[in-house]
Amino acid sequence: MNFEIPRKFNALINQAQQVALEVFRPISRKYDVAEHEYPVELDMLASIMDGMNDGDIKGGAGAAKLKQDNDSEDAQSIKNGSNMATVLGLTELCWGDVGLALSLPRQGLGNAAIAAVANQEQLNRYKNTWAAMAITEPEAGSDSANIKTTAKLDGDQYVINGEKIFITAGGRCDAVVVWATLDKSLGRAAIKSFVVEKGTPGMELVRLDKKLGIKASDTATIRFENCRVPKENLLGNPEIDTQKGFGGVMQTFDNTRPVVAAMAVGLARASLELTRSLLNSAGVIAGYADPVNNSLASEAELYRMEADLEAARLLTLKAAWMADNGLPNSKEASMAKAKAGRTANHITLKCAELCSTLGFSESHLLEKWARDSKILDIFEGTQQIQQLIVARRMLGKSSNELK
């Protein structure tokens, strides 16, 4: 493997770094305090982000263009496309602020879901739509196969009934990608995803939730009561294939889990860099010359955290690279998400601890980053679910055989 970042991504990375440094960092604390207040400063970035996503490298700094690029290049060539571009861009943006990165217009996880399974007509129709993702329910969190929301075909429309919780950007988005079952008796095979546009009768925004972290991003609960959507709004194949199971809807996770891992890598790097700087100013300078067992305790912690972060970064790049090259990456996507989520939690908390009062006060962003990091080990599949998926892939077990 060549571990160098392709030069064609340099401009994208630099642009994302500038956004993180010049836009996100200065307003990070402001919107951490003003929860649910929309970051109006992001509006001016919308067109810039669209341009980054529509650039020659077929990718972008957000999730909107996340898709495999296998149809436009030689099948034998090695590709670094939109999945790689997305994880590299979001790593930098989340070095600035995770909540603000999740609040960028038209960069929602629902956009990644659309890109993963939509047909060309749907891609064109939802090109400028800001889409959130609605999967979790009050009685179906990590077990997404057990969702209760239903979608019944009635003529040329599907009628959706159910309630979804913890919808990132659910209050601000233009549309929501809703997971619903066509037939509960057929299990996970009948689960499909539907695009429901805001303002559709029967779709109600119930509340916005207060959270531990990423407060700049709104998190919503939405209820659907006899909500009718055109059958053309179903993403992927409408047929129920009991052999294929989830089919297209689960492909979304294979694409978005490396994205969340990239968010965790960016946040952890921010915390580690600031901690190293604060320790340097206090006279604790990591020299890397002595064995870890002969170093100061704080130095040894830095070394271990740096190693963990690099492992998480490389796993993330591998999972994205596999997606770009059309290789099955379910195991690798879960490995990256599990490692990066856990690493971000550990690093941000340890950095707050190492910096003592500076780490727990609002004089720096360390305590905020520690709070923000927790969600990165939860959404898009918890740590435990990722480990279960990896175990199934390693052992060749089905979900029924290993629960």
pLDDT tens-digit profile of 172-220?
999 999 999 999 888 888 999 999 999 999 999 999 999 999 999 999 9
Contact 161, 182 (CB under 8 A): no
- Asked whether residue 308 carries a pLDDT value surpassing 70, the answer given is yes
Percent of the chain predicted with pLDDT > 90: 70
For the segment 369-381, the average pLDDT, to the nearest whole number, is: 95
Alpha helices in 6-142 (DSSP H): 10-19, 25-33, 46-53, 82-96, 98-101, 109-117, 120-125
pLDDT tens-digit profile of 263-294?
999 999 999 999 999 999 999 888 888 888 88
Write down all domains in the chain, each with its CATH number in brackets. 7-125 (1.10.540), 131-235 (2.40.110.10), 248-395 (1.20.140.10)
- Asked whether residue 54 carries a pLDDT value surpassing 80, the answer given is no
Contact 348, 263 (CB under 8 A): no
Distance, in Å, from the CA atom of 324 to the CA atom of 314, rounded to the nearest integer, reads 15
Distance, in Å, from the CA atom of 309 to the CA atom of 303, rounded to the nearest integer, reads 10
* 301, 332, 380, 401: the active-site residue: 380
Contact 39, 31 (CB under 8 A): yes
Who's near 196: CB < 8 A, 6+ residues apart?
A: 160, 175, 176, 177, 178, 203, 224, 227, 229, 233
pLDDT tens-digit profile of 215-263?
999 999 999 999 999 999 999 888 887 655 555 566 678 888 999 999 9
For the segment 338-360, the average pLDDT, to the nearest whole number, is: 97
In single-letter form, the type of residue at position 177 comes to V
Burial bucket for residue 281 (CB in 10 Å: 0-12, 13-18, 19+): exposed
Classified as helix, coil or strand, 1 is coil
Residues β-bridged to residue 221: 207
Contact 370, 335 (CB under 8 A): no
Contact 98, 118 (CB under 8 A): no
Q: Identify the H or E element spanning 373.
A: helix 366-373
User: What average pLDDT does the structure give for the chain?
Assistant: 89
- Asked whether residue 25 carries a pLDDT value surpassing 80, the answer given is yes
Task: Reply yes or no on whether 353 is catalytic.
Answer: no
Who's near 326: CB < 8 A, 6+ residues apart?
A: 68, 70
For the segment 14-40, the average pLDDT, to the nearest whole number, is: 95
Contact 191, 216 (CB under 8 A): no
Distance, in Å, from the CA atom of 378 to the CA atom of 219, rounded to the nearest integer, reads 14
For the segment 73-80, the average pLDDT, to the nearest whole number, is: 72
Q: Could you tell me the pTM of the whole model?
A: 0.91
- Asked whether residue 107 carries a pLDDT value surpassing 90, the answer given is no
Contact 366, 358 (CB under 8 A): yes
For the segment 110-123, the average pLDDT, to the nearest whole number, is: 87
Alpha helices in 194-296 (DSSP H): 248-281
Q: What is the pLDDT of residue 94?
A: 97
In this predicted structure, which of 152-156, 228-232, 321-325, 397-401 has the lowest mean pLDDT? 397-401
